[in-house]
Amino acid sequence: MQSLAATGLAVAASRTAAAGESGPHAVLELRQYKIVPGRRDEMVALFERHFVDSQDVLGMRLVGQFRDLDDPNRFTWIRTFPDMAARQRQLNAFYFGPVWQAHRGEANPLLDDNDNVLLLKPATPALAFAPPRGSRPATEGKGGMVVATILYLWKDPEESFSAFFAERMAPELAAGGLPVLGAYVAENAENTFPQLPVRQHEKVFVWFTRAADARAYETARRRLLERPVWRSALGPALADAQERGAQVLRLAPTPRSSLR
């Protein structure tokens, strides 16, 4: 039988989660973890068993968890928060709460490096991830591939690139078979949970798409590059905006990933 205190905490958590589910989430973490070689599957199993529902219930959204197709030791995951104040509350509740405290001794030895984290916000309100529909897969969801493209720009994307992407690039990407699921830029507000380092003050623009598999993605990408508007205008403009080459993450959803 639950104690009154435990019942109260459960009710508070459910209310927080309900608020998080119904409202927009304006803060996103793109977390790329380097896992001890050969132990990624252990990390995935542990994470999905203990760290998915326990974060969701606190009002965070676990958008997706992935195996990197190009690095057998990289585990990438995404979570969002309503705002920076909520992020502080929710991370405190999780990392000082019972689930993490009970299982951190299992998780930490699997981590080689967990500091590669981009703290982001939507490039425009319309380019935020849509709220989840339906329930999260309980065990094994359908396949598919998610692609995250990290652009490193010469200028702050909020000067002009975000509008250029939303108004000109996103429609062309969709027409080429690469629909934009979300697009984000750096969130440079104070890191309200300094126990977790994050990358800030970088001129990055991150956008996400999906494809049935690697072959379908490459087919769509080649089709996009051959489109007249891309060849004559958008491709050159994109190349001119970049300080260096993009990082492309080809991501295979884990069984309980909502994004797939």
Question: pLDDT truncated to tens, each residue of the chain (260 aa)?
Answer: 333 333 333 434 444 444 444 578 999 999 999 999 999 999 999 999 999 999 999 999 999 999 999 999 999 999 999 999 999 999 999 999 999 999 999 999 999 999 999 999 999 999 999 888 766 666 565 679 999 999 999 999 999 999 999 999 999 999 999 999 999 999 999 999 999 999 999 999 999 999 999 999 999 999 999 999 999 999 999 999 999 999 999 999 999 999 99
Say how many domains are in the chain. 1
* Residue 163 is assigned to a structural domain of this protein: yes
Domain assignment present for residue 2? The answer is no
Does 16 fall in a domain? no
| Phi, psi torsion values for 82, nearest 5 degrees | -60, -40
Evaluate whether residue 45 is within a structural domain.
yes
C-alpha dihedral sign at 149, 152, 153, 158:
positive
Tokens of 181: 């699921």
- DSSP letter at 57 equals T
Which amino acid, one-letter code, is at 167? E
| Structural domain range at position 32 | 24-127+137-253
Residue 40 lies in a domain: yes
Contact 107, 33 (CB under 8 A): no
Mark 160-199 as b/e (b = at least 16 C-beta within 10 Å). ebbebbbeebbebbeebbbebbbbbbbbeeebbbeeeebe
Asked whether residue 196 is assigned to any structural domain, the reply reads yes
Residue located via tokens 């652009």: 151
Strand partners, 251: 68, 146
The residues pairing with 61 across neighbouring beta strands, listed in sequence order, are 80
**63 within domain boundaries:** yes
- Asked whether residue 14 is assigned to any structural domain, the reply reads no
* Domain CATH for 62: 3.30.70.100
